[in-house]
Amino acid sequence: MKFTKTLAAAAAMGFALTGGAMADDHPVKAGFIYVGPIGDLGWTWTHDQGRLAVEAEFGDKVETSYVESVPEGADAERVMSQMARSGVDIIFTTSFGYMDPTINVAADFPDVAFEHATGYKRADNVSTYSARFYEGRYVIGEIAGAMTETNKIGYIASFPIPEVVRGINAAYLAAKSVNPDVEFKVVWVYTWFDPGKEADAANALIEQGVDVIMQHTDSPAAMTIAEEKGVYAFGQASDMSNFGPNAQLTGIIDVWGPYYIERVQAVMDGTWESTDTWDGVQEGMVGFAPFSDKLPDDVRARAEATIAALAAGELHPFTGPINKQDGSVWLADGEVADDGALAGLNFYIEGIDGELPN
Amino acid sequence: MFRLEQRPQPSKTMLYLTPVIAVLATMIVGAALFALLGIDPGSAIYLLFIDPFVDSYNLSQLFVKASPLILIAMGLSLGFRAGVWNIGAEGQFIVGAIAGGAVGLALWGTEGWWILPLMAIAAALGGGLWAMIPAVLKIKFNANEILVSLMLVYVAENFLAQMVQGVLRAPDGMGFPESRNLGRNDATSLPDVFPALGIDAGGVVMLVLLALAFFLLQKHALGFQIKLTGESSRAARFSGVKPGIIIAVCLGISGAAAGLAGLFELTGAAGKLTIDFPVGYGFTAIIVAFLGRLNPVGILLAGVVLAGTYIGGENAQFQLQLPAAAVTVFQGMMLFFLLGFEILINYRIKRLRRAV
């Protein structure tokens, strides 16, 4: 009995050694923590594309690993700790809800670099990064304003947080600039990913006469409904034209690869330090899916010009005069919103109907 | 053709051995599955079943994961024994956390040893009352408690979303939908008791309640009535057991236990209420209850084994790139084998001769 126990323990040790053994001049190890499954074709999928870009760039000089569908909170903290303990050099935590867990775990592992997406808390070994998605929303808002015939644009919104409110405002500004009669109908679904609810919201919007749908949720459900009902929609996070070959006009693409490559390179060079990155069209973090051939030439040309202006840094979507919903002045003529104001944006601008929840 | 034929005398030994056999069968079939996925089955089984129980960091996380599962499963097992099927523990878990959390948030800034117990009472009441909805509907209108309790999970999720968007939202959270961090606040965070195994004050309460459940089932008249109702509701009725009371008691206890588990999760591991606060403990606990043969000791063991597969599953994901879904399949397989083997204890397969 005792002998078999010893044997089992020895076998266990053997596993542990093969599992944990590492070469001395080891490649840089990068870990990724995902909130959804890599097959979500949206948010998590684009981050995983970024991870694959890192592998493609560095080949065997880098080793990447990931854990998918990690709940935010206690589980996230454990997974990060386990990853850090396994000898990973840099960990990308790719959801807002990982903010506190990232800060907590980073304090225990001062030699590991942490990169938290979309948060606002930093530390000596914690950087934050996000993309100026509102620039993308400005472009598709302009297209939506030009393409709607009913002058009603539907917007499937997740939560009334600054990130989402900013997108609605940017899209409305752009739509209004090309179509003064445009009207926005916003539905709050209180989820980032729930195909059922997103589809219900799309159907409800279409019944209200909406003929272009925008979304700030992650699944392609609204796109499939748009295809079915013959209205237009935009891809979210990735190209969703497979789900709506006729419906998709273009889409906002999250491009994380170049940033991930840059940060892993910094770890290799020993130059990594804590930074706060908010990149947009100009830096290439926000990209666009191919334009549908349903776009008339003038709409396409204007969208391309807008993208070019954003890329050149000549256009800022939030340039005054812009009033708040209640008519009070937010930005004076020519005034550009600063990043701090944008980060905390919690009101609708003038012209948007309906009340922002809370 | 084959037919299932009831065994006259199901083997007692086999009854206790089935969970072990089910786990072994899961390991073997799981290993084959991993091999098909191109993953070294030996390392995968090691990471899922052994590493969680030998590595000191993993051990320190074991009861963080196991405690809520065991506490909820303990409550559910009483009802399952009586044939009262509460499938909505996840909803009761959420409502308990909201009720207890609301008390803690209302008392924000106050110090005192009595705050946590008060929150615990609120959580147990919240979860218990939420479970009373299917109980009352069952007693009054004979509504199916499986459906009602399950549907109330979705109601609870939406209620949670509204709460963290609204009254329970942190005032300094930049508008993000989450509460203040109760786990970072002395008066509302659960103290650690045995950190090497991840047992905090909530874990201790869980163990005490488990012992009480054991006593209830073994020695107390109510436990006897619960068991009798499950085995033969007619016999129970003749001996004076009121089915309505059994339904209310079973749903009430399981709801209160799930509500408490929600509070312990909130004030311990999770810290704050967010929309993603529920991670499925209420559903996984159903597996734990059956894997533990609806017996308090068995549930303790089953909770620990399942918690291990969660922790091991995370490790296997980034060390072997085992897909997250494979871990879920693995856990489902365990329940499947258990229920499958259970049939074979009570029945035997008999070959039928075709009539000529």
pLDDT digits 0-9 by tens, B284-309:
999 899 889 899 999 999 999 999 98
What pLDDT shows up at residue A6? 42
pLDDT band for position A358 (cuts 50, 70, 90): low
Q: Which of A19, A97, A346 sits opposite B319 (nearest CB)?
A: A19
Of A214-223, A241-250, A311-320, B233-242, the poorest mean pLDDT is in B233-242
Mean pLDDT of chain B: 90
Q: Look at A159 and B265 and tell me if their CB atoms are within 8 Å.
A: no
Mean pLDDT of chain A: 90
Segment A294-303 mean pLDDT = 96
What pLDDT shows up at residue A20? 35
Same domain, A216 and A233: yes
Cα separation, A128 vs A158, whole angstroms? 22
Q: Does A120 touch chain B (CB under 8 A)?
A: yes
Residue A109 lies in a domain: yes
Pair A76, A32: CB distance under 8 Å: no
Interface pTM (ipTM) of the complex?
Answer: 0.81
Same domain, A107 and A155: no
Number of domains forming the structure of chain A: 2
Same domain, A144 and A244: yes
Residue of B nearest to A17 (CA): B43
Q: Which domain holds residue A179?
A: 133-253+285-343
Domain boundary among A102, A131, A160: A131
Q: Look at B269 and A18 and tell me if their CB atoms are within 8 Å.
A: no
DSSP state of A338: -
Same domain, A113 and A230: no
Pair A89, A55: CB distance under 8 Å: no
Write out chain B residues lying below 8 Å of A36, CB-based: none
Same domain, A200 and A104: no
Three-state secondary structure string covering chain B: CEEEEECCCCCHHHHHHHHHHHHHHHHHHHHHHHHHCCCCHHHHHHHHHHHHHHCHHHHHHHHHHHHHHHHHHHHHHHHHHHCCCCCCHHHHHHHHHHHHHHHHHHCCCCCCCCHHHHHHHHHHHHHHHHHHHHHHHHHHHCCCHHHHHHHHHHHHHHHHHHHHHCCCCCCCCCCCCECCCHHHCHHHCCCEEEHHHCEEHHHHHHHHHHHHHHHHHHHCHHHHHHHHHHHCHHHHHHCCCCHHHHHHHHHHHHHHHHHHHHHHHHHHHHCCCECCCCCCHHHHHHHHHHHCCCCHHHHHHHHHHHHHHHHHHHHHHHHHCCCHHHHHHHHHHHHHHHHHHHHHHHEEEEECCCCC
What pLDDT shows up at residue A292? 95
Domain boundary among A92, A114, A131: A131
What pLDDT shows up at residue B327? 84
Same domain, A125 and A154: no
Write out chain B residues lying below 8 Å of A16, CB-based: 46, 51, 54
Write out pLDDT tens, residues A221-250.
999 999 999 999 999 988 999 999 999 999
Q: Which of A295, A143, A281 is nearest to A213 (CA)?
A: A143
Residue of A nearest to B317 (CA): A67
% of chain B surpassing 70 pLDDT: 99
Same domain, A146 and A249: yes
List the CATH number of the domain containing A292.
Answer: 3.40.50.2300
Q: Which of A176, A294, A318, A191 is nearest to A241 (CA)?
A: A294
Same domain, A248 and A321: yes
pTM exceeding the 0.90 threshold for the entire prediction = no
| Residue B105 C-beta-side C-alpha neighbours within 13 Å | 23
Indicate the burial class of A245 (C-beta count within 10 angstroms; 0-12, 13-18, 19 or more).
Answer: exposed
Our CA-based measurement puts residue B152 at a distance from the nearest CA of chain A, in whole angstroms, of: 17
What pLDDT shows up at residue B354? 67
Q: Look at B46 and A15 and tell me if their CB atoms are within 8 Å.
A: yes
What pLDDT shows up at residue B267? 95
pLDDT band for position B356 (cuts 50, 70, 90): low
pLDDT at A339 over 70: yes
Q: Does A197 touch chain B (CB under 8 A)?
A: no
What pLDDT shows up at residue A3? 41
Cα separation, B317 vs B38, whole angstroms? 13
What pLDDT shows up at residue A25? 61
Domain boundary among A79, A114, A131: A131
Q: Does B64 touch chain A (CB under 8 A)?
A: yes
pLDDT at B334 over 50: yes
Residues in contact with A190: Cβ distance below 8 Å, sequence separation at least 6, in sequence order: A158, A159, B158, B161, B162, B165, B275
> What is the phi/psi pair of residue A108, to 5°?
-85, -20
**Which of B55, B174, B317 best tests the A interface by mutation, with the highest count of A CBs <10 A?**
B317
What pLDDT shows up at residue A18? 37
- List beta partners, residue A331: A322
Query: What long-range pairs does A265-269 form, CB within 8 A, spacing at least 24?
Result: A267/A28, A267/A30, A267/A89, A267/A90, A267/A113, A268/A28, A268/A58, A268/A61
Q: Does B161 touch chain A (CB under 8 A)?
A: yes
Beta strand residue intervals within chain A, DSSP E: 28-33, 62-67, 90-93, 113-117, 126-131, 152-157, 183-188, 212-215, 232-237, 248-254, 276-279, 286-288, 322-323, 329-331
